[in-house]
């Protein structure tokens, strides 16, 4: 990818213009901590490796397993963090809990963090930029159906929308509904249908590739 | 019955050891407006919801921890559900059928520490 493409894709969020107030503060604090030998550059690099090792592909494997294994699904919904730790070897390095929320034909779950950008990083990696920006954070709790519609997700009137605002200790991941016509799919093929956005709850899993 | 619950009748718990609320209880989020960073969103303060579950084990109060006060103290922590109509002051009747914004049965779920909850009158 050329640097021009890179800038174009990230234009609204960062990487252009002078560093902001908090960015400068973060650099200053980090350099001070290193200078005073409270943490080392190697620890920071290692933590980045921890973060980079987590991605929606992990969550997708969990979802696919839940679709094919009802006993696993039950354990996952009852004890999200514990089940991911025990059965997928996923560590919760940030010491958050995880509640997995199942979408059904009567209930649709949507995840937001109105205060900041709490996100189930251990299982999904870093949140998308829009998840961290104020329009999504403010509107998801105020007019969830309008927000969902903008993602192309139309929720029937009789379906209950549950908006989950993550704050202190608990993070959420949505277990989307398994798409129709996937009975013959392998677990691996199913995992390929599970995108990041389906696990945030802004879209439903589908066998149709979107062009977005 | 396990040993812990067999002994329960004679055990006296220390203050704060047992959760004050249980699943199904109606609770109001306190309308406190302290200065600083708190984990209870402003839009929920003063709103009434229902306890969905008590999160166990009790969690470290990260509001206190965040300010460097009393770090390590544990508080009971609740998952509560609040109707969106309660939060945004719309009466259920004022939400039109097939509203593109919200439906009367839509709800918000959130976790709140015990010190932020009270029993509505």
- Quote the ipTM score: 0.87
Q: Is A168 left (phi over 0), alpha (psi -120 to 50) or beta?
A: alpha
Give A209's pLDDT tier (boundaries 50, 70, 90): low
Q: How far is B4 from chain A (nearest CA, A)?
A: 22
Question: Mutate which of B65, B84, B99 to disrupt the A interface (most A C-beta within 10 Å)?
Answer: B84
Q: How far is A186 from chain B (nearest CA, A)?
A: 34
- For the question of whether the overall pTM of this predicted structure is more than 0.90, the answer is no
Strand positions, DSSP E, chain A: 97-102, 107-112, 160-165, 170-175
Per-residue pLDDT at A5 exceeds 80: no
The average pLDDT across B3-9 equals: 61
Q: How far apart are CA A15 and CA A6, in angstroms?
A: 10
Q: What are phi and psi of B49, to 5 degrees?
A: -140, -170
Q: What is the pLDDT of residue A3?
A: 43
Poorest-confidence range of B28-42, B58-72, B103-117?
A: B58-72
The average pLDDT across A119-142 equals: 96
Whether A167 and B110 lie within 8 Å, measured CB to CB: yes
Q: At what angle do helices A70-78 and A56-68 cross, to 10 degrees?
A: 120
- Put simply, whether A25 touches B (Cβ < 8 Å) is no
Query: What sections of chain B are H helices per DSSP?
Result: 3-6, 62-66, 84-87
Per-residue pLDDT at A184 exceeds 90: yes
Q: Are A149 and B104 in contact (CB under 8 A)?
A: no
């Amino acid at each position: 990818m050329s640097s021009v493409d890179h800038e174009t894709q990230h234009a609204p969020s960062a990487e252009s213009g002078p560093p902001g107030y908090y960015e400068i503060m973060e650099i200053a604090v980090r350099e001070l901590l290193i200078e005073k030998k409270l943490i080392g550059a190697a620890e920071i690099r290692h933590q980045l490796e921890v973060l980079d090792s987590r991605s929606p592909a992990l969550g997708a494997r969990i979802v696919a397993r839940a679709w094919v294994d009802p006993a696993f699904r039950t354990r996952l919904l009852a004890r999200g963090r514990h089940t991911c730790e025990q059965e997928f070897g996923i560590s919760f390095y940030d010491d958050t809990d995880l509640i997995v929320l199942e979408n059904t034909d009567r209930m649709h779950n949507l995840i937001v963090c109105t205060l900041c950008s709490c996100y189930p990083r251990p299982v999904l990696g870093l949140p998308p930029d829009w998840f961290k920006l104020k329009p999504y954070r403010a509107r998801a709790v105020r007019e969830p159906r309008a927000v969902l519609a903008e993602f192309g997700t139309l929720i029937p009137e009789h379906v209950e929308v549950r908006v989950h605002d993550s704050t202190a200790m608990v993070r959420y991941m949505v277990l989307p509904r398994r798409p129709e016509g996937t009975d013959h799919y392998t677990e691996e093929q199913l995992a390929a249908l599970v995108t990041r956005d389906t696990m945030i709850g802004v879209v439903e899993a589908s066998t149709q590739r979107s062009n977005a | 019955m396990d040993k812990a619950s067999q002994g329960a009748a004679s055990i006296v718990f220390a203050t704060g050891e047992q959760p004050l609320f249980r699943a199904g209880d109606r609770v109001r989020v306190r309308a406190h407006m302290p200065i600083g960073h708190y984990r209870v969103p402003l839009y929920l303060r003063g709103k009434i919801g229902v306890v969905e579950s008590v999160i166990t084990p009790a969690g470290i109060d990260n509001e206190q921890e965040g300010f460097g006060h009393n770090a390590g103290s544990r508080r009971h922590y609740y998952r509560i559900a609040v109707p969106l109509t309660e939060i945004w002051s719309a009466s259920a009747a004022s939400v039109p059928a097939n509203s593109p914004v919200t439906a009367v049965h839509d709800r918000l779920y959130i976790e709140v520490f015990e010190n932020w909850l009270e029993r509505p009158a």
